[in-house]
Structure 1
Amino acid sequence: MNELISIIIPVYKVEEYLRRCINSVLKQTYKNLEVILVDDGSPDRSGEICDEFAALDNRIKVIHKKNGGLSDARNAGIDICEGEYIAFIDSDDWVHDKYIENLYKLLKKTNSDISVCNFIKTAKDKVDIYISNEEIYEYTKIEALEQFVDKFYVQMVIACGKLYKRNLFREIRFPVGRLHEDEFITYKVIFKAKKIVLTTAQLYYYWQREDSIMGSGFSLKGRLDALDAFEERGNFFDSIKEMELRDKTFRIVFNIYKTINDKINLFEKNEEKMDFKKKFMNFKRVLRKTKQSFFLEFITKCII
């Protein structure tokens, strides 16, 4: 018998799109599923829609909780899931009918801990997908981490579009209250894996909404959270002696500092500006330790 797979779907203000998402999951050719819908205190009819589907299919479990954000909702699903494997789908997105089947077969065939697929960004409900000419890449965990600064960066860093062995999340949870939550944890999950496999088949459909977090333009909080995520990642690469990855990641950190500095007038309080300058000074100390004089020279010129 096929192993149980848990699909965790956070739900918040998506009544317009939710049925499309859930229907794509219920149409999966892989049937042994546990579908966890986490109603994150949604003020629209999304919670009611979750209950309607749960009444129709006993594979669906619904959690109704106080609003805590995307990370908190995903964590709630992880805490109760029972599958040997976990997949995350955002509730305004949807997936190919063979999304789970293909990722599961790929994972088992290559004896991997994580399988990854490609995706399409779209604002259309109907998309023509061709998956026959796929390419397969098998990675060690370090080779997968190298993709964080290479062509498959987005595919590797997002939490969706993957099938994971559940035990990889035994000690890892998404950071509550943070934007760019995937940037904070996916590299940690990948580092715990023995092997990762990626297919270029486009099996995940990423809906482009103007009111989404990622589609709303410059966000000071978003940039500050991204800054913390990338600094943590750079320090992590330093701790495992992956110096090239560390240096490339710190280059990204430098660019984020410069972006924030260009918008420093958006800080509402002088204390916030001072906190930012303190963070910059701490980063300069890190760069001194890593002897990256290039960054020191340019940061001194670019950051107030």
Structure 2
Amino acid sequence: MISIIVPIKNAEKSLFKCLHSIKNQTFRHFEAILVNYGSIDKSGEICEKFASNDSRFHVIHLDSTNASRAKNIGLAYAQGEYVCFVNAVDWINAEMLEELINTNKIFQGDIVTCRYFEDSISELFLTPGPDENKIMSKNEAIQLCLSQPRVNSFLGNKLYKLELFSSSPAVHFDEDIEYYEDLLVAMQLFDKSQRIVYSPPPHYHYYLNRHLPLNVLQIKGKLDGLVAIERAVELLSKDPSVDTKILKDLYIKLNLSSIFTLLTLENVDSSFINDLRQKLHAYGLNELKDSDLKKCCQITRRNIGLGKIYWDMFYKKKLVE
């Protein structure tokens, strides 16, 4: 059986399509654990409707928490041999579970990952990747997972053995981290896996316009995403076969984006900007991969204003804010 965990908060506009895509899976032996946390719209009602019509759907209502806590609770309830995660604003192709399970019957992996679509109002973009089934090294899996600059979701297009989470050392979502918490968990699971299987057909639809923008500073007062990335780098640096440059790029990119956003806001404590600027020294320039990012970091260390100009002219075009 596969346990599908869906963390849900105020997703009424997309939730019906998301849950229908789960209900219509060609692989029928699953449980869908809907964790509705703090919603004030009709998300809870939609969840209850699906649960009342299909015994495979189970609803957990929480008054107030965050996505990390919601996913941990979902994992605690999961009974399947495998587990996957679907964002409430996304949806999956009907054959996703069946094809990933069948692929894993051949390759016997701890994780099976597939390509995915980036959906938006105006386009459907297929992310690049190899064209054949393969066993990936840990380093290949990490590089593929982090290679898409427009997507900040790292769990949805994968199927995991549930025991990866529960066996020692146990993996759980840090409930003090609300941004990039899924990246940290994905890296922990890659590090723990013995075999990671790649299947090229795309099945997951990541809806760009409905996900939170990169600028979380407008939502919360601290960047715990930097903590998540830093911890992932520390973990993976223990394995000399893993290239962590792309993770370090992500750390600096989030830092720079945050600094330049703070510059545009009113009544921002300048000490916060200075603290972030100091974090630009967390890694040496030779540890970064992207040449434009490296140059922007170097300039901003010296002069924030000039760094902002370089960011706007040469690097911001690479991002979808």
Report TM bin, short chain.
0.7 to 0.9
1:219 paired residue among 216, 220, 229:
216
Aligned-partner Cα distance in 1 for 2:49–2:261 = 46
Quote the residue 1:74 is aligned against.
71
1:158 Cα deviation from its structure 2 partner: 1.1
Aligned-partner Cα distance in 1 for 2:198–2:145 = 13
2:160 paired residue among 129, 147, 164:
164
TM-score, length of structure 2 as denominator length: 0.76
2:12 paired residue among 8, 11, 15:
15
Residue identity matched to 1:249: L
Q: Alpha-carbon deviations, 1:254-285, whole Å to 9, x = none?
A: 4444434434434722442354355446x2xx
User: Is residue 2:29 matched to residue 1:32?
Assistant: yes
Quote the residue 2:41 is aligned against.
44
Structure-2 change in CA distance of 1:248 and 1:38 (3 Å): closer
Q: Report if the CA contact (8 A) 1:140-1:194 is conserved.
A: no
Q: Report if the CA contact (8 A) 2:215-2:258 is conserved.
A: no
Quote the residue 2:273 is aligned against.
273
Quote the residue 1:191 is aligned against.
191
Aligned-partner Cα distance in 2 for 1:135–1:143 = 14
1:148 Cα deviation from its structure 2 partner: 4.7
Aligned-partner Cα distance in 2 for 1:297–1:208 = 30
Where does the alignment leave 5 or more consecutive residues of structure 1 unmatched?
none
User: Is residue 2:235 matched to residue 1:236?
Assistant: yes
Residue identity matched to 1:229: A
Quote the residue 2:319 is aligned against.
none
Bigger CA drift: 227-236 or 113-122?
227-236
Q: Percent identity?
A: 27
Aligned-partner Cα distance in 2 for 1:73–1:280 = 32
Quote the residue 2:302 is aligned against.
301
Aligned-partner Cα distance in 2 for 1:31–1:79 = 22
1:152 Cα deviation from its structure 2 partner: 6.8
1:156 Cα deviation from its structure 2 partner: 11
User: Is residue 2:250 matched to residue 1:249?
Assistant: no
Quote the residue 1:94 is aligned against.
91
Residue identity matched to 2:39: S
Q: Report if the CA contact (8 A) 2:112-2:196 is conserved.
A: yes
1:111 Cα deviation from its structure 2 partner: 0.9
SS in 2 for 1:245: coil
Aligned-partner Cα distance in 1 for 2:174–2:224 = 10
CA RMSD of aligned residues (A): 3.4
Residue identity matched to 2:273: K
Structure-2 change in CA distance of 1:122 and 1:222 (3 Å): farther
SS in 1 for 2:114: strand
TM-score, length of structure 1 as denominator length: 0.80
